[in-house]
A and B are shown apart, each in its own frame.
Chain A
Amino acid sequence: MGGRVASRRRVGQDPGLVRGAAGALLGGGHCPPLPAQHVRPVPSEPCWALGRTAWTGSADRSAPTSLGTAIRAPSCRSCLKAGLRAGPKPEQPGHSRHAFWVLPEDRPSFPVGPWDNYTFAQPGIQMKVRMLEELVSRIDEHVHRHLERHEVRYLQFAFRWMNNLLTRELPLRCAVRLWDTYQAEPEGFSRFHLYVCAAFLLSWRKEILEEGDFQELLLFLQNLPTAHWGDGDVSLLLAEAYRLKFAFADAPSHYKK
């Protein structure tokens, strides 16, 4: 997986970079700029472990969990703790969970904004789960309402889908096939994955609607029967995800209530 050698990505200095990250997290590179109060000025000290500029200073804990917080909150405590704020020190071993995500520049399809995914409180992951919820509510209101009615929260099952990119949900051969597509697809990991998750959830539509009990529903959603899945199943999943992406990606109000 990548390498620490590649960790010194171009370090952005202007808040525009933050907006770019926000755009990517929201599933579009053409996201309107955030209101100024939501953008924390990016300090000049580069966090080489993240391969980009670190957010220094204390995170504002009193702020509500909103888009703004999600973007500015990660002050990357681990990196700060490890003394990684004192400028680039390529000889110092990086932080493994960050190093894992640091890939060469020529892999633009890898998650944009990993610093939001695998830092304290994982605001990036939480935001993606909320995006999935919003998307499913537009695609299949019936399923969405059913989950809501039985008090099943998306965070209870989809957190892992986002955190591990479905590697825990699918047999290894299928995960490899899936990731292969993510590599080929522009913004595969950061954007297309969301549609795959929606297609994945809705592929269990019948079973979900048949369960009328919180516990059974959650047990089912946390242990989906995919052990027998093969290439064909992943192809179907991907085809459905493409369909959803075309129908919903550029139409944020499509079927919106």
Chain B
Amino acid sequence: MAKQYDVLFRLLLIGDSGVGKTCLLCRFTDNEFHSSHISTIGVDFKMKTIEVDGIKVRIQIWDTAGQERYQTITKQYYRRAQGIFLVYDISSERSYQHIMKWVSDVDEYAPEGVQKILIGNKADEEQKRQVGREQGQQLAKEYGMDFYETSACTNLNIKESFTRLTELVLQAHRKELDGVRTRASNEMALAELEEDESKPEGPANSSKTCWC
């Protein structure tokens, strides 16, 4: 069976409880939205394959519980992540302020070179807004991250933000991917070379091949 994807990346969603991490994910993978809140226990898992720059990327997305008591469980997933969404709720100043704490967790537990992106979710709740768009942009700039205001409810910027993070991860790993490609082509060249070298040996060699 042909492989359904070229590369596989692990992305992680983190942020305070109730900011809409699970809703973002459901909107992205299943195009569904449920307004009732049911808290994630431990870690949930979903996946989707998208195409970026002609490369089929399968993304595994780990949706973590925001509540503090689960954090020893959820931190175990940082280590293997290549991209991280830091999510806050634009109608909750508190969740925005906690981004600092989430960033320091990432610095401590995630591998170096992990790609991060800042998300201000619930952008549709304009009348309840407590965090300005500029504040989000400012914070993202401070940490050198990209920033999106999203709404899982109205499907605003969902696909864009997931694709963007995937692109960033892809860029960060481009060198490795190229390395893999180069190595693969080198091996092929080497094989060809060996084949060439073996030719002069003539019939003896070819009969040997037959025995194999």
Contact = CB atoms under 8 A, between A and B. Distances in A.
Interface residues of B, number: 15
B69 interface: yes
A126 B42 CA distance: 11
Interface string A202-239: 00000000000001001100100000000000000000
Q: Is the interface of A mostly helix, strand, loop or mixed?
A: helix
A149 to B, nearest CB: 18
A156 B69 contact: no
B72 A164 contact: no
Interface residues of A, number: 17
A121 B69 CA distance: 6
Nearest to A155: B73
B70 A218 contact: no
B60 A215 contact: yes
Nearest to B62: A156
Nearest to A219: B45
A120 B67 CA distance: 10
Nearest to B42: A159
Interface string B57-77: 000100000001111110010
Interface in A76-122: 118-122
Interface in B49-95: 60, 68-73, 76
A160 interface: yes
A119 B69 contact: yes
A181 interface: no
B32 interface: no
Interface string A171-194: 000000000000000000000000
A98 B43 CA distance: 22
A119 B72 CA distance: 11
A122 B74 CA distance: 12
A246 to B, nearest CB: 30
B43 A156 contact: yes
Given A159-B42, A164-B41, A168-B41, A215 B70 contact: no
A137 interface: no
B42 A163 contact: yes
B123 to A, nearest CB: 29
Contact of B45 (A121, A163, A222): A222
Contacts of A122: 69-70, 72-73
Nearest to A65: B72
Interface of B: 41-47, 60, 68-73, 76
Interface of A: 118-122, 126, 155-156, 159-160, 163-164, 168, 215, 218-219, 222
